């Protein structure tokens, strides 16, 4: 019997749930794309993007997904033959490194595994031994495959301590609008993000952010792609230059509304606090289930856990049936596993707890997973939902 009659719930780590307010803001007639409202809308969006990223630097909006802005960021400050140091704590760290390598950039990769954050001291060691070849350090804030979150401020401090001049470039595609991030205070030179995770907009636009130091590097970097070049987009003579062509009109309306919700109404620090509380509720449930030994959080150390996504792994159980049970029988879509290290995809699933989500949705999802664990006789500790409820009530 299926009990999934009702509204389905998506708990994937991107795309995340789109609020009705955002959908409604997008539901309107096409605007004039050359002048008027859309120009002001774009200015408001850029201002609020700065507030989300905590920077006075320049955001650039591309019609793209996250993979596109990985490329955009690299294209603006690096050239074929340049060298970068990539830090990986999951599949997405490797993904950005692969994009760089394909663009002819020399990549030195430090693989820190998938169960904890990177070690800034190791990065410092490599930079100290470098004779000026390394032009940038590429880091992932939250790796969405492993749900490891990295301490970007500590990384900056380690780089500074070596006196090395490399740019610090950070992938915040999963974390922006969910987890504390301070672009200026943490000395991040280039940051990339997308609209479909913490920012709650359907996939379609993505962002680079860059500071003065990166702008100077960009001025002297030869650009092979006019589309990715952020210079004309940052300081355009005409509206069409901001987007190198037709703007993503309805995405802009959606984004304006979501940023209004996050920045103008809730306040970004409250957004972070909400994600922290909801993440703690997820961990309380999963850590309780884990006492029976079949499943557990991939990341053991609390400080290394993401506030936006939790990766759950099993050494003994195939979790694909649980994922399908939740989807087909109960109407809950969870994030699929992305295999890493010794773990195959079927030994992993992920709970996305980013963006537009309230207590009903979160407890509903956790209780549904528990029902699935029972239905499939996957051993799990008792009291997980009570533990999550307790976190949410305090």
Ligand X SMILES: *Cc1c(COP(=O)(O)O)cnc(C)c1O
What 3-state class would DSSP assign to 269? helix
* Residue of 14, 116, 120, 337 interacting with ligand X (CB under 6 A): 14
CB of 292 to ligand X, least distance (A): 30
CA 305 to chain centre: 13
∠ CA 175-352-334, nearest 5°, is 150
Q: Considering beta carbons, is residue 203 or 293 the nearer one to ligand X?
A: 203
Strand partners, 83: 106, 134
Strand partners, 22: none
How many amino acids of this chain bind ligand X (CB under 6 A)?
13
CB of 328 to ligand X, least distance (A): 25
Q: Which stretch binds ligand X (CB under 6 A): 59-67, 227-235, 237-245, 287-295?
A: 59-67
CB of 31 to ligand X, least distance (A): 25
CB of 52 to ligand X, least distance (A): 16
x/- letters, 362..381, toward ligand X (CB under 6 A): --------------------
* Residue of 21, 44, 51, 67 interacting with ligand X (CB under 6 A): 67
CA distance 31 to 358: 33
Tokens coding 392: 């949410």
CA distance 352 to 161: 36
x/- letters, 172..211, toward ligand X (CB under 6 A): -xx-------------------x--------x--------
Count CB-CB contacts under 10 A for residue 236: 14
CB of 209 to ligand X, least distance (A): 15
CA distance 19 to 120: 38
Q: Which residue is nearest to ligand X (CB)?
A: 66
Q: Considering beta carbons, is residue 203 or 383 the nearer one to ligand X?
A: 203
Nearest to 103 by CA among 77, 74, 66: 74
- Under the binding rule (CB under 6 A), the answer on residue 296 touching ligand X is no
Tokens coding 79: 């050239």
Rg, the chain, Cα only: 21
Q: Considering beta carbons, is residue 120 or 204 the nearer one to ligand X?
A: 204
* DSSP letter (8 states) at residue 223: P
- Under the binding rule (CB under 6 A), the answer on residue 144 touching ligand X is yes
* DSSP letter (8 states) at residue 220: T
- Under the binding rule (CB under 6 A), the answer on residue 140 touching ligand X is yes
Q: Which stretch binds ligand X (CB under 6 A): 51-59, 120-128, 153-161, 167-175?
A: 167-175
CB of 175 to ligand X, least distance (A): 7
Length reported for the chain: 394
- Under the binding rule (CB under 6 A), the answer on residue 91 touching ligand X is no
Q: Considering beta carbons, is residue 65 or 347 the nearer one to ligand X?
A: 65
Q: Would you say 350 and 23 are in contact if contact means Cβ atoms under 8 Å apart?
A: no
Strand partners, 333: 10
Nearest to 95 by CA among 145, 56, 136, 159: 145
- Under the binding rule (CB under 6 A), the answer on residue 107 touching ligand X is no
CA distance 296 to 302: 13
Q: Which stretch binds ligand X (CB under 6 A): 39-47, 137-145, 162-170, 283-291?
A: 137-145
Q: Which stretch binds ligand X (CB under 6 A): 64-72, 158-166, 275-283, 359-367?
A: 64-72
Residues of this chain that interact with ligand X (CB under 6 A) are 14, 65-67, 92, 140, 143-144, 171, 173-174, 194, 203
């Amino acid at each position: 019997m299926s009990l999934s009659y009702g509204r389905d719930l998506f708990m994937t780590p991107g795309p995340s749930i789109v609020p009705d307010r955002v959908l409604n803001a997008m539901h309107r007639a096409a605007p004039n794309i050359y002048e008027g409202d859309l120009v002001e809308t774009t200015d408001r969006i850029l201002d609020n993007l700065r507030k989300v990223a905590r920077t006075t630097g320049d955001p650039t909006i591309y019609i793209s997904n996250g993979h596109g802005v990985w490329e955009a960021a690299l294209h603006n400050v690096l050239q074929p033959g340049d060298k970068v140091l990539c830090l990986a704590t999951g599949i997405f760290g490797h993904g950005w490194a692969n994009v760089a390598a394909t663009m002819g950039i020399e990549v030195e990769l430090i693989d820190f595994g998938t169960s904890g954050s990177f070690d800034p001291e190791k990065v410092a060691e490599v930079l100290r031994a470098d004779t000026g070849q390394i032009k940038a350090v590429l880091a992932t804030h939250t790796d969405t495959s492993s749900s490891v979150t990295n301490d970007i401020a500590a990384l900056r401090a380690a780089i500074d301590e070596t006196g090395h001049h490399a740019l610090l470039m950070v992938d915040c595609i999963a974390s922006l609008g969910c987890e504390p991030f301070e672009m200026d205070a943490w000395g991040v030179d280039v940051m990339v993000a997308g609209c479909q995770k913490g920012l709650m907009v359907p996939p379609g636009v993505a962002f680079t952010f860059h500071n003065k130091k990166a702008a100077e590097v960009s001025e002297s970097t030869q650009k092979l792609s006019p589309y990715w070049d952020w210079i004309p987009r940052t300081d355009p003579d005409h509206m069409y230059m901001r987007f190198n062509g037709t703007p993503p009109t309805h995405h802009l309306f959606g984004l304006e509304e979501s940023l209004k919700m996050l920045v103008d109404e809730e306040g970004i620090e409250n957004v972070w606090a909400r994600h922290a509380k909801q993440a703690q509720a997820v961990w309380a449930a999963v850590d309780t289930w884990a006492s029976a030994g079949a499943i557990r959080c991939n990341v053991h150390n609390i400080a290394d856990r993401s506030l936006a996504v939790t990766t759950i792994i099993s050494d003994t159980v195939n979790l694909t049936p649980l994922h399908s049970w939740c989807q087909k029988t109960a109407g809950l879509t969870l994030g699929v596993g992305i295999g890493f290290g010794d773990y195959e995809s079927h030994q992993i699933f992920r709970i996305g707890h980013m963006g537009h989500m309230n207590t009903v949705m979160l407890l509903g999802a956790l209780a549904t997973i528990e029902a699935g664990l029972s239905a499939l006789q996957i051993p799990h500790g008792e009291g997980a939902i009570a533990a999550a409820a307790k976190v949410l009530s305090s």
